[in-house]
Structure 1
C-alpha cells in the first residue's frame, strides 16, 4: 500500500519568488499535482489575511499552518482548526519590556474566528511599510490603540511582531527569551537585509507542533518539507525529509536532506513534480 505523504512548504523565500508572488508555473504544477491526489500545504510566518490572498489560486485541501504555527486554518471550511494563545501575564510582561526598550510593533488577536491586528504607532519606516503593503495589497484589517495594555486582558492574544535593525531588537530579544511561557524568534527579513523580525508566540506554538498535529489528525505516514530561513528549523525537525532551496541560509542547508533549485526557479514545484508525477 502506498504511503500517505504530505508535502509542506514555507512561503517567503521558498515557494514565493522574490517579488512575493507565486509563479504561473508553480500554480499550474501544484494544482495539477493536487488534482492527481498529492497532499500539499504551506507553513508560513504570514497571517491569514496575507497568506490566503497569496495562495488563493492553489486548490489546497489540507489545513495550512500560519504565523509560524500559532494557528492552523482550514481554507475550505473557513475556520481555525487550532490556535495557541499567549497567557495574559506573559502578554503584560511582553508589553512592559517593549516599553522599556522603546520599541513598538504589532499585536495579533483572534476574535469570533476573525484576526485583528493592533498597533500603537507607525513610528518607523519599517512599521509603516509593513502596514501599508498589507492594507493596500491584501486588504488586511488593522486597529490603532493608544496602548497594547488596553487589550492585554482579552485572553485571545496570539502573536507579537516587531521589525527594526538587529542592534535595536537584540537586547529586547535577550530579555524576552527568559520567559518560559513564550517562544521568541529573531531572524533577518528575506526582502531587506537591513531589517530583522522579532516574533513572539506561545511556547506551544511552532511549525514542529503544527506538522505533528496534521500528521496525527490526517494520518500521514511521511512528511516532506521545504524552507529557506532559520524560522524553518522547527519545520525541518518535524519532517521525515526536508529540502532547502538554493537561496536558503547556510545553517538550514547544512541540516537539510538536500538542496533544490532556488525560489525564483520554482524549486519546490519542480521537486514535487519530479518525485510524484510518474508514480
Structure 2
C-alpha cells in the first residue's frame, strides 16, 4: 500500500476561525502521529508564528514555512531546505518599491539570524497592526532608512495595504521568471490585502515534493483553502479543499471536506488512514472516506441486504423482517439527519460501497454494516478504526455499542466488554442485542 504524506495548510484549514488548533484536531493528529502517520503542515507563516498557533501539536516531521522558503526540523529549527531571493531580483524589486512608494516588511537572515525589518516612519496601518500583535518577537528590527531595510540574505517581502495600492506591483510581477507574487485578502482582517513576494523556486508544492522524496512516500495528500495552496494541489495525488475555501480552490480540489470549524482535516485523516492502521500489510484495495449525503440510497440498500443475509444466520426470518422489512421501509429523513450529525464513514472500492459505520459525540457506535460479499476482509475493522479514532478526538472516557448476535464476537475481539443482553421492540417483535463498553481516552 502507498506510503502517504499528508500536508495541510494552517490558516483557514487546520486552524479554527479563532486561529488555534482545536482540542479534537490536536488529539487526532497526535494519536495518528504516534501510530506512524506522516503528517505535517505548510504555511505562509513564519515558524515563530506557526509554533505559537500549533502549540501542543506533535511535530515529528519537518514543517514547511514561509510558503515553502524553508523546510525546518525539530525544536532547534534546523534548516533542511532554504530558497533565498536572487540578488538581481532584489535590485529590481527594491527599485519598483521606490518608484511606487512602497515600504515592505523584509524577512532576512542577518549573520544567520532571522529578522523582520521595517521602517516605522513609513508603516501602513496594516504593518502597524502586524507589529503591534507581535510584541516580544525577537525577529522584529526597526530601521531608519532604505539602506537598513534591504540588508542581509533576504528571502521574503510582505506589503500590507489596500488592494488598489498593491495590485499594480502584483500585476507587474506576473510572469517574472525568478519571483512569485501572491496577493490575497487577509483572512482575519477583511478589506486588508497582503502582497507576498518570494523566490519562484520556493513554494508549498516544491517543498512538499522535496519532503515526500526525502521520506520515501509515494502518495501526497494536500489540504488547503487559499490561492497559495493551488500549486500544492497540483503536486498532490489527492487534494482536499475545506468547505470554507475560496470557490476556485474548491473547484481545483479532488474533493471538498468539512470546514475548519468542523475539524475537516482531522476527520478526513481518521477515515483515510484507517485501512492501513487497522490491517497493516493486509490492507486491500478498498479505502475509507467520509460519508456524503448522496451515499444514502446505496447505504440503505446495503443495510437491508446485510440484515437479510448476514444477520439472518443468527436471527429468524420473522426477526429480520421486523428489523427492516424492505428497503422502502427505512426512514430516509431520520437516517439522513443522524448520519449527517454523526461521524459517518464508508468503505468503498472502485466506487462501490462495501460498508459503513457511524458514531455520535458521546462515543456511542450506532451502526456498523458490511456488504454480504465483503465479509471477513477487514472492512469492519477499518471502519471501526476510524470510528474509535473519532472517540479519541472527542476525549470520551467510554465507548459503547449495542451489538447484534452476529457482531458480538467482532466487538469483543476489539476490547469491548461486559456484554449485557437486552431486548429491543421492532414492529411488535422483540430483537436481542448486547450492550458493550470499552475504555476511551
CA RMSD of aligned residues (A): 1.7
Structure 1 counterpart of 2:61? 62
Alignment of 1:80-95 (within 5 A): 80-95=79-94
Q: TM-score, normalised by structure 1?
A: 0.93
- Of residues 253, 257, 267 in structure 2, which corresponds to 1:256? 253
* Conservation of the 8 A alpha-carbon contact between 1:95 and 1:148: no
Structure 1 counterpart of 2:47? 48
Higher relative CO (Cα under 8 Å, sequence separation at least 6) belongs to 1
* Conservation of the 8 A alpha-carbon contact between 2:108 and 2:151: no
For 1:94 and 1:69, the matched residues in 2 are separated by 20
* Conservation of the 8 A alpha-carbon contact between 1:119 and 1:145: yes
* Conservation of the 8 A alpha-carbon contact between 2:30 and 2:58: yes
For 2:130 and 2:95, the matched residues in 1 are separated by 23
For 1:254 and 1:210, the matched residues in 2 are separated by 23
Runs of 5+ unmatched residues, structure 2: 279-441
Structure 2 counterpart of 1:177? 174
1:107 match: secondary structure: strand
* Conservation of the 8 A alpha-carbon contact between 2:64 and 2:207: yes
Query: In 2 relative to 1, CA 277–82 (structure 1 residues): closer, same or farther, beyond 3 Å?
Result: same
Listed one character per residue, the Cα deviations across residues 81-125 of structure 1 (whole Å, up to 9, x for unaligned) are: 111111222112212211221222211012455311111126322
Q: How far 1:77 sits from its partner (Å)?
A: 5.0
* Conservation of the 8 A alpha-carbon contact between 2:222 and 2:236: yes
* Conservation of the 8 A alpha-carbon contact between 2:173 and 2:181: yes
Listed one character per residue, the Cα deviations across residues 140-170 of structure 1 (whole Å, up to 9, x for unaligned) are: 520111234335353x110001111111100
Structure 1 counterpart of 2:98? 99
Q: How far 1:244 sits from its partner (Å)?
A: 0.2
Structure 2 counterpart of 1:242? 239
1:215 match: secondary structure: helix
* Conservation of the 8 A alpha-carbon contact between 1:108 and 1:118: yes
* Conservation of the 8 A alpha-carbon contact between 1:119 and 1:148: no
2:71 match: secondary structure: strand
2:133 match: secondary structure: helix
Query: Which has the larger displacement, 192-201 or 85-94?
Result: 85-94
Structure 1 counterpart of 2:357? none
Structure 1 counterpart of 2:17? 18
For 1:275 and 1:123, the matched residues in 2 are separated by 46
Query: In 2 relative to 1, CA 60–112 (structure 1 residues): closer, same or farther, beyond 3 Å?
Result: farther
Structure 1 counterpart of 2:109? 110
Query: In 2 relative to 1, CA 149–181 (structure 1 residues): closer, same or farther, beyond 3 Å?
Result: farther
- Of residues 140, 151, 174 in structure 2, which corresponds to 1:142? 140
* Conservation of the 8 A alpha-carbon contact between 1:5 and 1:220: yes
Structure 2 counterpart of 1:266? 263
Listed one character per residue, the Cα deviations across residues 231-264 of structure 1 (whole Å, up to 9, x for unaligned) are: 1011101111000000000001001011111111
Structure having the higher Rg = 2
* Conservation of the 8 A alpha-carbon contact between 2:109 and 2:154: yes
* Conservation of the 8 A alpha-carbon contact between 2:204 and 2:231: yes
Deviation >4 Å, runs of 4+:
none
2:217 match: secondary structure: coil
For 1:79 and 1:31, the matched residues in 2 are separated by 22
- Of residues 182, 185, 189 in structure 1, which corresponds to 2:186? 189
Structure 1 counterpart of 2:8? 9
Query: Which has the larger displacement, 174-183 or 217-226?
Result: 174-183
Query: Which has the larger displacement, 38-47 or 142-151?
Result: 142-151
- Of residues 211, 223, 226 in structure 1, which corresponds to 2:223? 226
For 1:226 and 1:116, the matched residues in 2 are separated by 29
1:59 match: secondary structure: coil
Listed one character per residue, the Cα deviations across residues 217-244 of structure 1 (whole Å, up to 9, x for unaligned) are: 1111101010001010111011110000
Query: Which has the larger displacement, 106-115 or 251-260?
Result: 106-115
For 1:238 and 1:76, the matched residues in 2 are separated by 28
1:253 match: secondary structure: helix
Runs of 5+ unmatched residues, structure 1: none
Query: Which has the larger displacement, 98-107 or 7-16?
Result: 98-107
- Of residues 206, 211, 214 in structure 1, which corresponds to 2:211? 214
Query: In 2 relative to 1, CA 98–47 (structure 1 residues): closer, same or farther, beyond 3 Å?
Result: same
Q: How far 1:11 sits from its partner (Å)?
A: 0.3
For 1:89 and 1:149, the matched residues in 2 are separated by 16
Q: How far 1:62 sits from its partner (Å)?
A: 1.2
